Amino acid sequence: MQPSRLKASIIITILFLWQILSSLHIIPHYKIPSPWEVVLSIKTLTTIGLPQGYRLPTHILESLYRVFCGFSIAIVIAVPLGILMGWSKIARETLTPLVEIIRPIPPLAWIPIAIFWFGIGIKSAAFIIFLGSFFPILLSTVSGVLSVDTILIEASLTLGAKRSDIYKKVLIPGATPSIYTGLRIGMGIAWMTLIAAELTGVKSGYGLGYMIMVARDIQRPDHIIAGMIIIGVTGYALDSCLRVLERRVLRWR
């Protein structure tokens, strides 16, 4: 059986068993709604919205926008800094202690201070997402640069290559696979962090995390499960996009 068919078969089997157990009341509806109820909930969220008028597509787009802002800032800062730390021993030894002190602090622990600094809105959300994705990208970039064969660097210097040429033609291409690994990990953490950040509240009234919080307040487990599934599917789609981009950029590998 092909991998794609096997994946589809597993998902269908799980949904079928879930529906059967719900129909037999083995799984209580008030705790875990049936798949059919979740499907109807997704339809309701799409057409009517939660809160009413705040429809699902806009919730998704708002969450994606927040992720894009924070994730883009993390890439712009983490990749060049990672290349510098990988190339320069002085920079690496100077910055590593600071990185290792801040890195263990969970992004969620920054939420109170982020709200204090930026208020509730896109700035605080982007800051939290930035923190969540910055360190995986940074460390993967440093690791990628350090993994580049020193013989290639020495050969380039022997042939008269400039420092800028070594960056562009040796270090960056050699570190790119590791950078993409960091991007995927960073995106996953950014997406999870965003949802948690939205649970604290949003100004616009849009966001998947905020939608789930509203569903909790009105005691609608079907909407909560539907929101969780949408979050998972969207996160999978984001990772798939990065994998497709990785395959196109790294065709030479």
Model pLDDT, residue 102: 92
In this structure, is residue 175 part of a structural domain? yes
Q: How many residues does the structure list for the chain?
A: 253
In this structure, is residue 35 part of a structural domain? no
What's the CA gap between 126 and 63, in Å, rounded? 10
In this structure, is residue 240 part of a structural domain? yes
Residue 162, C-beta contacts closer than 8 angstroms, at least 6 positions apart: none
What's the CA gap between 190 and 130, in Å, rounded? 7
Q: How many CB atoms lie within 10 A of CB 62?
A: 22
Alpha-carbon separation of residue 225 from 47, 50, 98, 114, 230 (angstroms): 17, 14, 40, 28, 9
In this structure, is residue 42 part of a structural domain? no
Provide the domain limits for residue 205: 57-249
What's the CA gap between 22 and 222, in Å, rounded? 13
Alpha-carbon separation of residue 39 from 36, 43, 203 (angstroms): 5, 6, 28
Indicate which CATH number applies to the domain containing 215: 1.10.3720.10
Tally the domains of the chain. Answer: 1
Residue 31, C-beta contacts closer than 8 angstroms, at least 6 positions apart: 221
Residue 48, C-beta contacts closer than 8 angstroms, at least 6 positions apart: 55
Model pLDDT, residue 57: 93
Model pLDDT, residue 73: 94
Model pLDDT, residue 24: 83
Nearest to 91 by CA among 156, 69, 99: 99
In this structure, is residue 51 part of a structural domain? no
Model pLDDT, residue 252: 57
What's the CA gap between 183 and 132, in Å, rounded? 11
In this structure, is residue 207 part of a structural domain? yes
Per-residue pLDDT of the chain (253 residues; tens, 9 = 90+): 556 677 778 888 888 898 898 888 888 877 888 889 999 999 999 999 888 888 999 999 999 999 999 999 999 999 999 988 988 889 999 999 999 999 999 888 888 888 888 888 788 888 888 999 999 999 999 998 888 777 776 677 676 667 676 777 777 777 888 888 899 999 988 888 887 778 666 777 788 888 998 898 898 999 999 999 999 999 999 988 888 887 887 765 5
In this structure, is residue 26 part of a structural domain? no
In this structure, is residue 159 part of a structural domain? yes
